[in-house]
Structure 1
């Protein structure tokens, strides 16, 4: 292969050197793109390369997901919190999540449930920088007055940005002072720490809102039909269910053992070949009493970096089963918007703030009716 050469007849030497240097800098400094999310079908294929001819070769051709660098700051955080009960830094796998009562609330709304007993608490998983997502959710499905006669409470859960914590924190605190709907602890907000974020919500219920009837854990990139959830599954006119959790249920799924994916779970972190049944992470609902039980049992077992799978492990430890819901209510894939179809679902995944704001006026339009 011919070497790269910078040559231009009559071009000033100094300018030529500057341009060559800039080119080489961009060539070296440009980061590799992260592996994009793939469908569960591909995940199943790559978690078992022998299941299809040529799949192992396909897997080797995919660049590795570089989770090591993303976790370097988390290692420092672990060292700061280390106690004799924790594994030492030398024996702990980089993907092993450290759950500690040393995480403190940076932002909190401890008085939200003092005057009310909410029927439904919406916990929305966001990152500190997700200002547009939070604003869109407040104006759409996160509106606390969306279901007449039903007490709904909305809270956004977040951690500390791993690189821009201080400047973002000022913005987050200002946003919190306006809306009073953000809860934050001082763990790093990374994909690996999604489990910590969900457990923060379970802790908040246990300590500040134990009288909540139901809790909905929702990602920030979903469409959520709260009215249909309440009327079809939760039934506010009936006594609250106990030990209840439902959503899109996964059964007999295997941990992803390839570093090519951000869903990678090494055997050192989770040695079993399959997960217990669990509800898919984009959105699931559980009873308030079960949220408190999950918070308690999570302090007694080893935590893994896959949040939804870990909640299933907690249920297995508690001896509680997930509850089947009618097929098609919880969609972990995106489906094309159509009002009458969306009026009879609970969750649809992969809706950004712009698209959510675009479809919402039509979804709320009372003049356009659907056949029952």
Structure 2
């Protein structure tokens, strides 16, 4: 039996051992935290010095967060993904980097964020090129909410389905937006059968994605067409003159891109500009020759070639210059139209004779389009 007082003696012996154990435990935790801090520092340093730019780790539409934050808010207000689409974006757009076509279909991004086959059509009219073989397809990128622009085009050059004896189709390409009424879009498509919608975020900064999705749709659903045109929704298009031009002898049927040519255009580095492109996206100081994005015409063999070559071209946010880069990589060059004066940008005053001779003009409003078109088509010689 132990001494009844041994308990107190035992307690006195226990205190130094317990204190020693606590000090040992404290040193172990301190060493662990020190090691963890060192690991985190090494990881951050390695990532910050990686040759892969930060913007390549994220989808193109999310990657412009830094770009938008550096730009005056009156030029680019911040874009917020609609709650109903957040899960879709988070699930779909996970970046992987590859240079060759994978043998197994990946779940994330292939090649880069502007590669159009990363996206999916959620509203389509695949039968339009099956019921007839079009000579020309007009593809109009437009914001989902901009019904006014679509209706103005449907009343004017977009309603022409037989021009100079040739079949012409007009279609509108949309992305997704939190401000758009999904049901109204469905009703609009049921009425007109001319909407194509893909699941990329529809913003100005994503025009390269939008344009490449147009190319993908043409390559997938409308190979039978002879020519196509990407034409903005604020354009006056003299469709008769366009078809007459394309039917001229000697107009190529392959590898042909024409419009208002831009030569030796410098890359805009000013953050205050609408056309600002950071060096991380496009390091060269000058763009290759390209056709102005208001409206350019191309032989319909090119869309599939654009889609394929884009795998190796880093995306940037100037869509028409991006198409110019695709042409350069393919070993082709844009061609000047037979009469370059027909592709014009701005005109301060409407003149019936002038509008009867041109192919394109940029307008200030949809009301102007309807007004000028109505006047041009009235009886009597325009000049």
Residue 156 of structure 1: how far off its partner (Å): 0.4
Change (3 A) 1:100 1:205: closer
In 1, Cα distance between equivalents of 2:250 and 2:128 = 24
- Is it true that 1:276 corresponds to 2:288 in the alignment? yes
The aligned counterpart of 1:150 is: 166
> Are 2:279 and 1:251 aligned?
no
| 1:103 has 2:115 as partner | no
Residues 1:350 and 2:363 aligned together: yes
Match of 1:205 in 2: 218
DSSP-derived class of the 1:223 partner:
strand
* One of 350, 375, 381 as aligned partner of 1:362: 375
Structure 2 CA distance for partners of 1:270 and 1:316, relative to 1, 3 Å: same
**Matched residue, 1:331:** 344
In 2, Cα distance between equivalents of 1:72 and 1:113: 33
Q: Does 1:241 align with 2:241?
A: no
**1:9-28 equivalence runs, <5 A:** none
Task: Name the CA distance, whole Å, in 2 between partners of 1:143 and 1:79.
Answer: 39
Correspondence for 1:295: 307
Output one character per residue of 1:194-224: Cα deviation in whole Å (capped at 9) or x when no partner.
1111111111111111111000110000100
C-alpha separation in 1, matches of 2:229 and 2:114: 24
Instruction: Give the TM-score normalised by the residue count of structure 1.
Output: 0.74
Counterpart position of 2:78: 69
Separation in 2, partners of 1:148, 1:327: 21
Partner of 2:27: none
Deviation, structure 1 residue 84: 2.4
Residue of structure 1 equivalent to 2:185: 172
Higher relative helix content = 2
Q: What count of residue pairs does the alignment treat as equivalent? A: 297
Q: Which has the larger radius of gyration?
A: 2
Shift of 1:110: 0.9
For the 8 Å contact 1:64–1:260, the answer to whether it is kept is no
Structure 1 residues 122 and 100, CA gap change in structure 2 (3 angstroms) = closer
Residues 244-266 of structure 1: CA deviation (Å, up to 9, x unaligned) = 11111111111111221221110
Q: Is the 8 A contact 1:150 1:236 kept in 2?
A: no
1:192 lines up with 2:205 in the alignment: yes
Deviations 1:46-67 (A, max 9, x none): xxxxxxxxxxxxxxxx956664
Report the Cα distance in structure 1 between the residues aligned to 2:267 and 2:81, rounded to whole angstroms. Answer: 23
For the 8 Å contact 2:164–2:243, the answer to whether it is kept is no
CA distance in 2, matches of 1:175, 1:64: 32
Inter-partner Cα distance in structure 1 for 2:198 and 2:132 = 24
Output one character per residue of 1:170-214: Cα deviation in whole Å (capped at 9) or x when no partner. 111110111000111011100011111111111111111111100
Partner of 1:310: 322
| Structure 2 runs not aligned, ≥5 long | 1-70, 100-111
Q: TM-score, normalised by structure 2?
A: 0.72
Unaligned runs of 5+ in 1: 1-61, 88-95
- In structure 1, the residue matched to 2:240 is 227
RMSD: 2.6
1:81 paired to 2:93: yes
